Amino acid sequence: MRVGLIVDSACDLPHEFSKKNDVFILPVTATIDHHTYIDDHNPEQTREFYHNGLLQKGHHAETQAFTPAQIHDLFMEKIVTQYDFAICETVTRSRSLVYQNATEAMNSVMVHYHTAREAAGVQGNFTMRVVDSKQLFAGQGLLAAHTLTLLDKKLSKNALRHEIETFTDKIYTCVIPRDLHYIRERARMRGDKSVSALVAFLGKALNITPVLFGRGADAKPVAKTRSFELAVEKVMNYAIGRIEAGLLTPYVCLSCGLSWQEIDTLPGLDRLRETCDQHGVELLLSQMGITSSIYIGQGSLCLALGAEPHTFSDFQ
């Protein structure tokens, strides 16, 4: 049975990792200064966006999920004839229409897939599942990496879905937003009240850089620092301590809304790399994608790992 994994553009993973493992990217439409782009994680396009400053504050930017009809056509063309079973893991449904639209598209595909497979000379039935990752950015990337390890176990479809959905509640993320006001304005555009005006005001008035921490998309402030560098040190210390205590999957995902030159000089990154090597953990380091950067703002950072229940302060 040929099994395919689909993620959307909010999922941050290294391009090489996605390509090596045949992870299919469900695009998201990005509109910047009234120009429309299709974010399909093309690394050259992403680098160009960073180089030209299109993801910086001051540009009007928003994202929009593909419609059910667009997703249906994409699945029929790219997925139905290539796989016998497909899993589509979407950004948390509480922050995006991708899950809803992908589910609607899946239902339509299940009615019409026979025609496409017969035309391509592919025998047998096709099935697929849409899963709400309950994650954003690196958290979604971690779930995808873990899913690939589960695929190697040749589990039944129901067992595989159960394992994936169970693991979503064991993913912890750290987010360092570079500009709380940017996040607040983006949230207001979506009707999301998760970032309060008070927190945004304090961040600007006192020059505070917070660390947000939690399971999935439910991250809350756990530390306030006077600089981005100090916040990064705290996150690196947390990740190193948690790796040494043990993880539930041998991956740590780290995505950064920075140039690669800036990423290479992040404080504590070398220590994190060394700790990963010592404990047989693969560090999935990537430049934050266009969709993620529009959502949280250029210059931000997101780290995700899978572990038993704990607090951020346990590893400070």
Q: In 3D, which of 105, 171, 102, 146 has the Cα closest to residue 250? A: 146
- What tens-digit pLDDT sequence spans the chain (316 residues)? 899 999 999 999 999 999 999 999 999 999 888 889 899 999 888 888 887 776 666 567 788 999 999 999 999 999 999 999 999 999 999 889 999 999 999 999 999 999 999 999 999 999 999 999 999 999 999 999 999 999 999 999 999 999 999 999 999 999 998 877 767 666 666 566 555 555 665 666 667 888 999 998 888 889 989 999 999 999 999 999 999 999 999 999 999 999 899 999 999 999 999 999 999 999 999 999 999 988 888 899 999 999 999 999 999 9
Q: Give ranges for CATH 3.30.1180.10 in the chain.
A: 171-315
State the span(s) of the chain assigned CATH 3.40.50.10170: 3-169
Please give the pLDDT value at position 216. 84
- Do 133 and 140 touch, CB atoms closer than 8 A? yes
Domain with residues 3-169, CATH architecture: 3-Layer(aba) Sandwich (3.40)
In Å, the largest CA–CA distance within the chain is 64
Structure token pair of residue 147: 């899913």
Confirm if 64 and 45 have CB atoms less than 8 A apart: no
CATH classification of 171-315 is 3.30.1180.10, yes or no?
Answer: yes
Name which of 238, 98, 128 is nearest 173 in CA terms: 238
pLDDT of residue 49: 81
| Residue indicated by tokens 């430049």 | 287
Q: Which of 59, 98, 132, 36 is nearest to 294 (CA)?
A: 59
Write down the pTM of the prediction: 0.93
For residue 204, the model assigns a pLDDT of 63
User: How many CB atoms lie under 10 A from the CB of residue 22?
Assistant: 12
At 189 the pLDDT is 64
